[in-house]
């Protein structure tokens, strides 16, 4: 049995598909399972215990190279990549992406049963045209994890355990231990991580409130909060730190996806906007205090009673817009609300 999973991006979406991967492995313990993914999220699944093979698409890199005029090298590389995709005849192909880019790859693959959602799902881009087994569309207000598991029902895989099993190794944990040691963090106090940046402007919380939150956390729990983020988030985090009076540790741009997962695995709590690292924290079973504005936590929020979701619950939210003149849904979240959620998490951990 050869099985192909197509889920190309993004970080949160890939994490939400991991329970489906584990469900497939449970149903077919002897199958040879391949995952097709784009390079940015690939570290999340490389060396995963339920996978036999990972095929990485360098789509964004190819586009950049084409813009530089490197046509010949891109054509040669993509031709070889398509050969790799087609070197195996797959008994089952699952399109968990449901976009045009994944539909084209479904068509290119040598799949016998090509399974995905039929017409009627949001943002589908006619991906159903490339399938030969179409699953009836489901309510988008179901959580993304459950939607993936519902798709598996069509293939006779009935499984509802939510497990991720991120491939974190001892080297990743040792790297995090060194970073924390250099930052003066020890095991005598709670480790609270803060991930303040998101790619959508509408998901951002004001820098001055993150600064106030970090100061009050430091005072209340005698901690040095640890800020995380990608290299491009550095300017925002430096602005937050400049507004603080208490000490904090800045690990922005100093972690890979694997070491970031290992850091969150070590942490007592993660406070985050709705972004990839928020999903990473939930996947390693660390309590997450998540700030939601334009998006719906019932669709893509952290699953589990240990997590706390904060939202203003305005009539206009969720709107799923990347731009907004007021961003009221985030601006109406106050520091005291976040501190109350932090206190609930701390109390639950003590009990």
Nearest alpha-carbon partner for 130 in 90, 89, 101, 156:
101
Query: What's the CATH code, domain 170-350?
Result: 3.40.50.2000
Residue 309 token pair: 């979701």
| pLDDT tens profile 214-256 | 999 999 999 999 999 999 999 999 999 999 999 999 999 999 9
CATH 3.40.50.2000 residue spans of the chain? 2-153, 170-350
Q: What is the pLDDT of residue 165?
A: 96
Q: What is the pLDDT of residue 298?
A: 97
Q: What is the pLDDT of residue 309?
A: 98
| pLDDT tens profile 289-342 | 999 999 999 999 999 999 999 999 999 999 999 999 999 999 999 999 999 999
Count the neighbouring beta carbons within 10 Å of the beta carbon of residue 154.
Answer: 17
Nearest alpha-carbon partner for 165 in 34, 12, 19:
19
| pLDDT tens profile 86-137 | 999 999 999 999 999 999 999 999 999 999 999 998 888 899 999 999 999 9
Name 70's Cβ contacts closer than 8 Å, sequence gap at least 6.
none
Place of tokens 């079973």: 285
| pLDDT tens profile 275-287 | 999 999 999 999 9
Q: What is the pLDDT of residue 349?
A: 85
Confidence of residue 186 (pLDDT cuts 50, 70, 90): confident
| pLDDT tens profile 301-311 | 999 999 999 99
> Angle at Cα 104 formed by Cα 102 and Cα 110, nearest 5°?
100
Name 139's Cβ contacts closer than 8 Å, sequence gap at least 6.
none
Residue 199 token pair: 């790619």
Q: What is the pLDDT of residue 261?
A: 98
With a cut of 80, say whether residue 39 has pLDDT above it: yes
Nearest alpha-carbon partner for 7 in 39, 38, 52:
38
Residue 49 token pair: 């215990």
Residue 89 token pair: 């005849």
3-class SS of residue 245: coil
Q: Are 151 and 94 in contact (CB under 8 A)?
A: yes
Q: What is the pLDDT of residue 275?
A: 97
What is the rounded (10 degree) CA torsion for 214, 215, 221, 226? 40
Q: What is the pLDDT of residue 251?
A: 98
In sequence order, the β-bridge partners of residue 289 are 271, 308
With a cut of 80, say whether residue 160 has pLDDT above it: no
Helix (H) or strand (E) holding 179: helix 170-182
With a cut of 90, say whether residue 159 has pLDDT above it: no
With a cut of 90, say whether residue 161 has pLDDT above it: no
Q: How many angstroms separate the CA atoms of 245 and 248, rounded?
A: 9
Mean per-residue pLDDT over the chain, rounded = 96
Q: Are 271 and 265 in contact (CB under 8 A)?
A: no
Nearest alpha-carbon partner for 148 in 104, 113, 112, 117:
117
Sign of CA dihedral 129, 134, 139, 144: negative
Average pLDDT over residues 30-44: 97
Confidence of residue 189 (pLDDT cuts 50, 70, 90): confident
Q: What is the pLDDT of residue 81?
A: 97
With a cut of 90, say whether residue 351 has pLDDT above it: no
Query: Per CATH, is 2-153 categorized as 1.10.150.130?
Result: no
Q: What is the pLDDT of residue 146?
A: 95
Determine the distance from the C-alpha atom of residue 252 to the mean position of all C-alpha atoms in its chain, rounded to a whole number: 17
């Amino acid at each position: 049995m050869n099985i192909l999973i197509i889920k190309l991006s993004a970080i949160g979406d890939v994490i939400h598909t991991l329970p489906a991967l584990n469900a497939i492995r449970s149903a077919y313990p002897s199958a040879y399972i391949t995952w097709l993914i784009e390079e940015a999220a690939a570290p999340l699944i490389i060396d995963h215990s339920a996978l036999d093979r990972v095929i990485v698409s360098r789509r964004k890199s190819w586009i950049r190279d084409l813009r530089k005029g490197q046509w010949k090298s891109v054509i040669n590389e993509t031709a070889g990549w398509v050969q790799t995709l087609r070197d195996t005849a797959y008994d089952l192909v699952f399109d968990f992406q449901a976009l045009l880019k994944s539909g084209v790859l479904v068509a290119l693959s040598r799949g016998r049963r090509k399974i995905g959602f039929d017409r009627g799902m949001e943002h589908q881009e006619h991906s159903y045209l490339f399938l030969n087994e179409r699953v009836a569309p489901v309510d988008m207000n179901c959580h993304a994890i459950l939607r993936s598991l519902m798709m598996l029902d069509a293939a006779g895989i009935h499984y509802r355990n939510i497990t991720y099993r991120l491939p974190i190794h001892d080297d990743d944990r040792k790297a995090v231990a060194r970073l924390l040691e250099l930052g003066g963090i020890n095991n005598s106090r709670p480790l609270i991580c803060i991930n303040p940046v998101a790619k959508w402007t509408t998901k951002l919380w004001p820098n001055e409130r993150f600064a106030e939150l970090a100061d009050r956390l430091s005072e209340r729990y005698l901690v040095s909060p640890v800020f995380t983020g990608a290299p491009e988030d550095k300017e925002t985090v430096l602005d937050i730190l400049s507004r603080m009076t208490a000490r904090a540790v800045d690990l922005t741009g100093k972690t890979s996806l694997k070491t970031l997962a290992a850091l969150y695995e070590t942490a007592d709590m993660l406070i985050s906007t709705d972004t990839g690292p928020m999903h990473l924290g939930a996947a390693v079973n660390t309590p997450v205090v998540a700030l939601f504005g334009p998006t719906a936590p019932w669709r893509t929020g952290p699953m589990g009673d240990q997590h706390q979701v904060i939202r203003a619950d305005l009539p206009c939210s969720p709107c799923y817009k990347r731009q907004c003149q007021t961003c009221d849904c985030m601006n109406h979240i106050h520091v005291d609300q976040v501190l109350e959620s932090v206190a609930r998490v701390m109390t639950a951990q003590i009990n």
